[in-house]
Structure 1
């Protein structure tokens, strides 16, 4: 993501080389790994051409410095690309950020229609457009050996320009945006959604809170996609003479103990299609307007059909397990963002960050 983060400590760097005794350095911290053959595309996974190497993190502890004041100054950005239909996301000149999600996992609600109707009034000033939809899934009955189709309603409350959407399902209340200024503005928007929920259902039980930031890494300014990442991937891109990496998907999960217990999942790739550079298990809201970054990636794919791009997807979440507490959730969102931002900066190179921040020289 693109806005400046407070000082935090996730170790001294990233090193992905596997030691002979089964230990790796992840963000400067030692952790044990387990190797096993791939079966039916399990995750976490690491793919190179037709060979799959599963890397499962057994244990890793990272820490973030305590007593860090969150910056509240807002840094608004105006895109230098007048041809883009939307400004670049984040406060950096060429920010790679494409999509951001904040999501509450709710204790399941049997009938969400009354809640949707109640939420519409407090949400209308910022989200005046409503779209109804349905989720389709299957319930597998192992005893009978049959699968039954299930449907559940969902409601999308869209902003007037279509760049932000509040999503309500029987067990989720989320905020999706494709237009982003900085973390302060986004968390303030999320706080507005929490206030709307508090106004109509103050006793709602919250299971978890999560944030997800998706960045698209394009080959630009004379740099390859791999140049934007911290770690040396040259041995992966061309492990043998005459070989070229054609597909890769990486996922690493972390358990983080401070400043609050939470988990972080980092997903990245260097060989994604520019027409659909989405990470695994990622769904955009159909009605939401695509970000400038996603449009730029799609334009590259149209102009150069063989082009490849990368992505970095950082998904952080923390257990809540209590009734709605708006101030507590806002504070948790701020701490989760600090974790996400630190992870982003440890995964991406200084050279890449400098270009994203300052643009072409």
Structure 2
């Protein structure tokens, strides 16, 4: 996942920065939209997301706890004309997602550009969490049997060890990794049918690239998710450095899950 591959398996990538809350986000919408439009994101939408506010019980702890309060959270969305990339701006987070991934450098620069625009408009004070996540579609040319050529045995599940007459609907493996710089969650999902998304990640407003829409059969999704948590003064250079650390952690996990055969196939 380091150098650009001719047939890279990445079909979705997302980066997110969580920051101090901006409760009057809507009052900055016009300024943010004007700047986003000028840098290639003219498609603007407003929306809301639902969030649970867990209200702590203060005072007498013998009394029943207050039930969770469902709140509507304002969301500003900015997309490219072809809907292959876009920013989601919320009161306490900014996300950049794309289905046309090029290289990490161009992806990170675009994320920092959007984050810089929001910072110019609202003056963010600190960051609290930086995250980076990739979804890769593993589709060997010779079908299901080829998965063993593309993925290491540790993430293939039990399919190869079961009798041929046994039908396996899906297989799921997950490994939690902690490095000196970040935490990485590496998952592999093997399933049949069209290419989709993990249940906890539903992209908003972006279209899957045409070459991935034709996938319909047994395939694997390699899902690598890295994050760094901790409150830091808001500095774009520092956030970009954290992104590089996350990319390194994801690369380590990805390289441990795929084979040299797969890497060679994606490069040609």
TM bracket (short chain): 0.7 to 0.9
CA displacement at 1:269 relative to structure 2: 1.3
Rounded Cα–Cα distance in structure 2 between residues aligned with 1:3 and 1:296:
26
Secondary structure in 2 aligned to 1:345?
Answer: helix
Q: How does 1:262-281 map to 2 (within 5 A)?
A: 262-271=182-191, 273-281=192-200
Q: Which residue of 2 aligns with 1:255?
A: 178
Q: How has the CA–CA distance of structure 1 residues 174 and 237 changed in structure 2, closer, same or farther, with 3 Å as cutoff? A: same
Q: TM-score, normalised by structure 1?
A: 0.65
User: Aligned equivalents of 2:156 and 2:43: distance in 1?
Assistant: 48
Distance 1:210 1:166 in 2: 14
Look up the match of 2:132.
211
- The equivalent residue for 1:199 is 120
Is 1:329 equivalent to 2:239 in the alignment? Answer: yes
Which residue does 1:224 correspond to in 2?
A: 146
Q: Deviations over 1:259-284 (max 9, x none)?
A: xx21001111122x432531241111
Mapped to 1, the partners of 2:166 and 2:136 lie a distance apart of 28
- Counterpart of 2:31 in structure 1 is 118
| 1:234 Cα deviation from its structure 2 partner | 6.7
Does 2:203 match 1:284?
Answer: yes
Deviation of 1:236 after TM superposition, in Å, equals 1.0
Q: What's the C-alpha RMSD, in Å, of the aligned pairs?
A: 2.4
Output one character per residue of 1:136-164: Cα deviation in whole Å (capped at 9) or x when no partner.
24556793775654322211111122111
Contact 1:267 1:279 survives alignment (8 Å): no
Distance 1:224 1:208 in 2: 38
- Report deviation, 1:175: 0.5
Residues 204-245 of structure 1: CA distance to partner in whole angstroms, max 9, x if unpaired? Answer: 321011111110112424652333112256771143434343
* Conserved? CA contact 1:162–1:289, under 8 Å: yes
Residues 181-190 or 241-250, more deviating: 241-250
* TM-score normalised by the chain length of structure 2: 0.86
Query: Would the alpha carbon gap of residues 195 and 139 (structure 1) be closer, same or farther in structure 2, given more than 3 Å must change?
Result: closer
Q: Structure 1, residues 2-47: CA drift from partner, whole Å, max 9, x if none?
A: 442xxxxxxxxxxxxxxxxxxxxxxxxxxxxxxxxxxxxxxxxxxx
- Greater share of residues in helix: 2
> Do the aligned partners of 1:216 and 1:277 also contact (CA within 8 Å) in 2?
no
Deviating more after overlay: 153-162 vs 219-228: 219-228
3-state DSSP of counterpart to 2:224: strand
Residue 41 of structure 2 corresponds to 127
- Tell me the equivalent position of 1:43: none
Distance of aligned partners of 1:144 and 1:255 in 2 relative to their CA distance in 1, 3 Å threshold: closer
- Secondary structure at 2:7 match in 1: coil
Task: Say whether 1:167 aligns with 2:81.
Answer: no
Q: CA deviation at 1:351?
A: 0.9
Cα deviation for residue 323 of structure 1 reads 2.4
- Shift of the 152–346 alpha-carbon distance from structure 1 to 2, 3 Å rule, reads same
Q: Is the 8 A contact 1:263 1:317 kept in 2?
A: yes
Offset from partner CA, 1:61-101 (integer Å, 9 cap, x none): xxxxxxxxxxxxxxxxxxxxxxxxxxxxxx32222110010
Task: Please name the residue that 2:60 is paired with.
Answer: none
The gaps in structure 2 that reach 5 residues or longer are: 58-63
Report the alpha carbon displacement of residue 169 of structure 1 after superposing the two structures with TM.
1.2
Q: Bigger shift: 341-350 or 147-156?
A: 147-156
